[in-house]
């Protein structure tokens, strides 16, 4: 239970932050628009991840999916760098 809850809370935040950051970096349009959209939608994404973390029975699958969803977008952002 502790593993599930901490994955939902911390892993969920990490995944949300990473996905929102990648979206802000890659979305077309101006930097300010991309940033505003990513920030605005991020809380809905976080809520969805948390609910899924409890709805999915297999704990290992929850842990693996959420942390991969955090690490992969974070890795891509690190690789392509900040918006020039």
Partner 1 sequence: MTGVQDEVPQGLRKVMAWIHGWLGLLAGWMLFAMFLTGTASYFRPEITQWMQPEMRAAPVPPERSAADAVRYLQTLAGDAAQWAIYLPDTRTAVTRAYVQDAPPPPGSPPKKRRPEIVIDPATGVQTTARDTRGGEQFYRFHFQLQLPHPWGRWLAGLCGMFMLVAIISGVITHKRIFADFFLLRWGKGQRSWLDAHNVSAVLALPYHAMITYTGLITLAALYMPWPARTNFPTPDAYYRAMTGEPPETPATGRAVPLASVSAMVRAAEREWPGGRASRLIVRHPGDAAATVTVVRHAGDGMNARGATITYAGTDGRRLAASAPPGAGVATAGVMLGLHLGSFAGPAMRWLFFLLGLTGTAMVGTGLLLWTAKRRRPGAAPFLGLRLVERLNIAAVAALPAGMAAFLLANRLIPAGQAGRADTEVAAMFWIWGGVAVAGWLRPARRAWAETLALSAVLFAAIPVVNAITTDRGLDRTLFGDGDALFRAFDLAMLAIALLLAFGASRAGRRPVPARAPRRRIERKEPAHAG
Binding flag, residue 17, partner 1 (CB under 8 A): yes
Backbone angles phi, psi at 56, to 5 degrees: -80, 125
Q: How far is the CB of 42 from partner 1 (least distance, A)?
A: 5
Q: Is 83 in the site for partner 1 (CB under 8 A)?
A: yes
Interaction with partner 1 in 34-63: which residues (CB under 8 A)?
Answer: 34-40, 42-44, 46-47, 50-51, 54-55, 57
Q: How many CA atoms lie within 13 A of 63 on its CB side?
A: 9
Site string for partner 1, 18-37 (x = CB under 8 A): x-xx-xxx---xxxxxxxxx
Residue 15: C-alpha distances to residues 20, 30, 32, 68 (Å): 8, 24, 22, 8
């Amino acid at each position: 239970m502790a593993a599930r809850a901490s994955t939902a809370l911390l892993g969920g935040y990490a995944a949300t932050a990473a996905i929102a950051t990648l979206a802000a970096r890659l979305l077309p349009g101006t930097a300010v628009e991309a940033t505003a959209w990513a920030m605005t939608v991020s809380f809905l994404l976080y809520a969805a991840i948390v609910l899924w973390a409890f709805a999915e029975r297999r704990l290992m699958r929850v842990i693996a999916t959420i942390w991969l969803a955090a690490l992969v977008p974070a890795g891509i952002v690190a690789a392509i760098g900040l918006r020039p």
